[in-house]
Amino acid sequence: MLDDIEKVLYTKEEIDKKVGELASRITADYRGKDLCVVSILRGAAVFLADLTRKLTDINFTIDFLVLSRGKAGSSGEVKIIKDLDHPIFKKHLLVVEDMIDMGESLHYVVDVLKLREPASIRICTLFEKPYSRTLDIECDYTGFILPDKFVVGYGLDFHQKYRNLPFVGALKPKLSPY
């Protein structure tokens, strides 16, 4: 599996430091508020676990969404196949994503969540590819801006593999779907 990686872009230590920085900002912003952290599964699970373990000075609940969509880059319809388990009316939402590139799925999710009248919605992503954006999505908390390469590790996958790598690396071009 490690032979499939062209280059390590972010080490475990760099990721851990950045997650701590994001957690500090989130803690300051949500202290004393009724917060619900909403994670989009599967990729965000690794980031969510590390991030929430560092949110030690605030109270929050966690809920999950699972989406179904056509292939990346397609105009396939986004659907929620596993919805939130609890109401979010008048709660502050923090939507946690592993990576935002085109923004289509996240745009859909935010539109759906707004209809449920939360107090606020903010977005936290560890990795972002803003140059790939096809829809206007503003991230409130961003860890790293990724290069224009196909990346895996730390929850990011290729055909459901490589999520377990403790770092983020560029997949070798011969394996990349780009």
Between CA 33 and CA 64 the distance in angstroms is 20
Alpha-carbon distances, residue 178 vs 53, 127, 159 (angstroms): 34, 18, 14
Query: Residues 113, 95: contact at Cβ < 8 Å?
Result: yes
H or E segment and range at residue 96: strand 92-100
Give the active site residues: 101
Alpha-carbon distances, residue 140 vs 9, 23, 29, 177 (angstroms): 23, 12, 11, 29
> Which residues neighbour 29 within 8 Å (Cβ) at sequence distance 6 or greater?
122
Between CA 153 and CA 149 the distance in angstroms is 13
